[in-house]
Structure 1
Amino acid sequence: MSSELARRAMTEHVPLHPLPAAVETLLSDLQAPPRLVAHLRAVHDVARQLTDWVARHHPAATFDREAVLYGAATHDVGKVLHPNELSGPGSAHEPAGHELLRARGVDERLARFARTHASWTAPDITLDDLLVSLADKVWKAKRVPELEQLVTARLAAAAGQEAWEVFMALDDELDRIAEGADRRLAFQASYPVGS
């Protein structure tokens, strides 16, 4: 039953991009709970929107779009091992997800987001990490000024623009993305946490 619902969360015809095929296979192999699959699909869709916007408006910004999209699609995979964190607080899924991905042969370049998506102030955080973190917040219309300022600073530095100019445009884009939050939240809530 759970795998059937998880498959439906991957394929249901809703205005969300599908997960990468490799991620669908991974989540199926792990028997990921349907709610987790729905969440990962929603965050992945927002990451696509963000990376499209950055590529269009800040072409000088260097980031690995494939890694960001994979990271958004797998950032919470550790919740397979810590299902209580699907409906409650907790951070045990972060290192567990990273270890799980690495044990399955996923390259560090792609696996790291499982452990970095909630720690955007660490010294070695890249724009890629920040974009996954931002997608994981704005998918539900949550705005985090500190995170947005970090993204703004990276984009402004790459473009040689004033931070306020970049922030104004980013703010407009995040508002636009946030308008779809109710639809994404309803999609996620339509799937059970467990089987």
Structure 2
Amino acid sequence: MTADDTPSIATDDTADPPLRPLPRRATVLLERVDAPPRLVAHLRAVHDVAAQLVAWVRERCPRLEFDAEAVLFGAATHDIGKARHPAELSGPGARHEAAGRELLLAHGVPAELARFAGTHASWTAPGTGVEDLLVSLADKVWKNKRVPELEDLVVTRLAGADGRPAWQWFMELDETLTALGEGADHRLAYQMSHSLTRR
């Protein structure tokens, strides 16, 4: 097994940055679609940030009901369509979104989990749930990108769940996202250390 094997990238211990392993189900799917190493590394970085967000929401707003496992699976697979559109790994493009959803459905993933491949880039669509917002947020903050509109939507959900004023939630979320953003350089370096193509 080489350093560019999917299971190795998805699950081996990492020191800088320390990243949680991807869920086994996601790792198997990434192997099946022959995901490029850089894609697997990216998904692992986003999944780790999503896990930190999930833990924070559970601790700070236990009244907010959401499916944490769906968030983690969504973060671990949201860009899987880039296995079919690898140019979008290093450049702009949205073809991977529909392709990712179709790919997941074709591999037996239920629609409620496959949706994240499309919703991670369109958080204002009707029916967007807390899970979609958290996956989208993780996909931005992993590289220290801040999107006020997205953050406002998350704040609205948090405030609606426990009744505290939105401004308090804004301050708490801002502090958390700032702290998460501080690890962005290490996560970006980790992702870029992996090749764009399978060897």
TM-score range, shorter chain: over 0.9
**Following TM superposition, by how much is the alpha carbon of 1:194 offset from its aligned partner in structure 2, in angstroms?**
1.1
Q: Which of 169, 177, 180 matches 2:180?
A: 177
1:88 aligns with 2:99: no
Give the aligned residue type for 1:149.
Answer: D
**Match of residue 31 from structure 2:** 28
**Following TM superposition, by how much is the alpha carbon of 1:107 offset from its aligned partner in structure 2, in angstroms?**
0.7
What's the TM-score, normalizing by structure 1?
Answer: 0.97
**Match of residue 189 from structure 2:** 186
Q: What does residue range 74-113 of structure 1 map to in structure 2 within 5 Å?
A: 74-113=77-116
**Following TM superposition, by how much is the alpha carbon of 1:150 offset from its aligned partner in structure 2, in angstroms?**
0.5
Q: Which of 144, 149, 157 matches 2:147?
A: 144
Contact kept, 8 Å, 2:9 with 2:41, in 1: the verdict is: yes
Contact kept, 8 Å, 1:86 with 1:193, in 2: the verdict is: yes
Tell me how large the CA RMSD over aligned residues is: 1.3
Q: Which of 118, 126, 131 matches 2:134?
A: 131
Contact kept, 8 Å, 2:6 with 2:27, in 1: the verdict is: no
Distance 1:144 1:121 in 2: 12
Residue deviations 1:91-119, cap 9 Å, x none? 00001100110111101121100010000
Equivalent pairs, count? 195
* 3-state SS, counterpart of residue 37 of structure 1: helix
Distance 1:153 1:106 in 2: 30
Contact kept, 8 Å, 1:77 with 1:114, in 2: the verdict is: yes
Contact kept, 8 Å, 1:6 with 1:32, in 2: the verdict is: yes
Residue deviations 1:72-108, cap 9 Å, x none? 0000000011111011100000011001101111011
**Match of residue 16 from structure 1:** 19
Unaligned stretches of 5+ residues in structure 2: none
* 3-state SS, counterpart of residue 45 of structure 1: helix
